[in-house]
Amino acid sequence: MATPDSDSSAGSAPWETKRNPSGKNLLKRALPWLGCLILLALIVWGLWPKPVVIETGVVALGPLTVRVSEEGKTRVRNRYVVAAPLAGKMRRLALKPGDDVKAGDTLLTTIEPVAPPLLDPRARAEAEAVVSMREASRKQAAESLEAKRAISKMAQADRERFRSVTREGTVSQADRDKMEGEASMRAAEVRAGEFALQVIDYELAQARAALDRPASNSSGNLIEVKSPVSGRVLKVMQESEMVVSPGTQILEIGDPNDLEIEAEILSRDAVTIHPGDAVEIEQWGGETALTGRVRRVEPAAFTKISALGVEEQRVIVLSELVNFPDAAKTLGDRFRVEVRVAVWHSDKVPVVPAGALFREGNAWKAYLYHAGRAMLTSIEAGHSDGRFTQILSGLQAGDEVLLHPPDSVKDGTAVKKREE
């Protein structure tokens, strides 16, 4: 038996669309379109420009000190180089670098005469011949002296006989004067002969000395070299025993407590440095910086090749320490330090972190942070110490600027502060 529904369905044509009494069919049709809309929204959201995450800094009023920094080295202010005063054989030096010495008391070294050179057979034969010649000359001079003494004795005897004749008219006055002169002349010849014999004796001794090799280390032949000043041995140039000539450098003496700082600074920076400027000495090995002041800026520069092969004109700037704590007494000669010379200072100026500034052509620029946007601003910069830069115009105290802005930031770009 057929139902009404079956009758209606049986009476409809096959090609007729059946009506769904509910909205399920409509929902199925809308699902693909809804998915496309969601996907399109996601694409738009992904392509939509997002704010650039940045860091900011604030323009503030504060002190600013501009310093010139350069590597330096310590050096003893007064150095004394001890040299050999004369030629001779210097004995081995017992002192080492770091030993204390006292002026006029500490014996540095001893110099003794050089031993005479050895004679070859020909030179020895010649020296022996010279000795024999001098001996023969001495014998000749001795015989000549004896003859002169005999003649002088006869002249004196004749003079005495003439003097014994007192009767007038017996001997003329001329004969008396002649006899007196003869006796005096013979006596002078005897004295001249004695002097000639002495000269020959000296020549003989000299000729014999050429054959001898006397000891040169006797106490009377040694020259002691003592320290001219009190201090400490800095460097030993010649330690071993050797034959030295006058002026040969032996060692160097100085006082390590009397130090100064030597820095080779570029000439363009040295023109801003003047005697009396404050100096900070860092990286010397202690925790706190040492204070000093510029003592001298040398007037002449010199050329130095940098590590990159660039020729640089540098000037030596000498600084002296103002305070010398006990911890710094371990510093010695030629120790490396970092020198920072103050060339400009102001107690209250508007400053901005140096990382906020960049060059655009010949002008300084910075991005000002305003309402979530980066605003490009032209500024005029003054002095800088590497961390902070003085602002002359373009920014005011309290302004917030972008630090190290990336290349994606342009004028008007949306930015967002980095969350701490």
- The CATH number linked to 310 is 2.40.30.170
Q: Given this model, what pLDDT does residue 7 score?
A: 46
- 236: how many CB neighbours lie within 10 A of its CB? 15
Return the pLDDT at 168: 61
DSSP type of residue 290 = E
Which candidate, 255, 265, 280, places its Cα nearest to that of 333?
Answer: 255
Task: Give pLDDT, residue 117.
Answer: 73
Q: Are residues 189 and 243 in the same domain?
A: no
pLDDT the model gives residue 267: 94
How many domains does the chain fold into? 4
Please check whether residue 398 lies inside any domain of the structure: yes
- pLDDT attached to residue 226: 92
Q: 162 - beta bridge partners?
A: none
Residues 6+ apart with CB under 8 A from 142: 197
**Rg for the chain, CA atoms, rounded:** 54
Q: How far apart are CA 64 and CA 383, in angstroms?
A: 8
For 169, the domain range is 121-211
| CB burial string 143-177: b at 16+ within 10 A, e below | eebeebbebbeebbeebeebeeeeeeeeeeeeeee
Residues 175 and 233 in one domain: no
Provide the b/e sequence for 180-202 (b: ≥16 CB within 10 Å). eebbeebbebbeebeebbeebee
Residue 24 covered by a domain:
no
Structure tokens given for 182: 């003869």
Closest CA to 145 of 83, 89, 227, 200: 200
The pLDDT of residue 417 is: 85
Q: Is residue 39 part of a domain?
A: no
* Per-residue model confidence (pLDDT) at position 295: 94
Question: Which domain-ending residue is among 319, 342, 365?
Answer: 342
Same domain, 336 and 359: no
For position 214, what pLDDT does the model report?
62
Report how far residue 356's alpha carbon sits from residue 379's, in angstroms, rounded to the nearest whole number: 11
Domain shared by 271 and 332, yes or no? yes
Handedness of CA 89, 235, 302, 306 (dihedral sign): positive
Q: Which of 155, 180, 211 is the last residue of a domain?
A: 211
139 inside domain: yes
Is 239 among the domain residues?
yes
- Which is nearest to 80 in space by CA: 295, 255, 296? 255
Q: Distance between CA atoms of 319 and 250, rounded to whole angstroms? A: 29
**Residue labelled with tokens 């110490």:** 385
Does residue 231 share a domain with residue 100? yes
Each residue's pLDDT, cut to its tens digit, for the chain (420 residues) gives 444 444 444 455 555 555 555 566 676 777 777 778 888 877 777 666 678 888 889 999 999 999 999 999 999 988 999 999 988 899 999 999 999 999 999 999 999 887 777 778 888 888 888 888 888 988 888 888 888 888 888 888 877 877 777 666 566 777 777 878 888 888 888 888 888 888 888 888 888 887 776 665 666 678 899 999 999 999 999 999 999 999 999 999 998 888 999 999 999 999 999 999 999 999 998 888 999 999 999 999 999 998 889 999 999 999 999 887 888 888 888 999 999 999 999 999 999 999 999 998 889 999 999 888 899 999 999 999 889 999 999 999 999 999 998 888 888 888 888 875
The DSSP string of 89-100 is: EEPPP---TT-E
- Among candidate residues 111, 44, 62, the one with its CA nearest the CA of residue 82: 111
Residue 185, in any domain of the structure? yes
| The predicted structure's pLDDT at residue 416 | 87
Q: Residue ranges of the alpha helices (H) in 212-249?
A: none
Inside any domain, residue 304: yes
- Could you say which of 293, 309, 342 is where a domain stops? 342
pLDDT for 3: 46
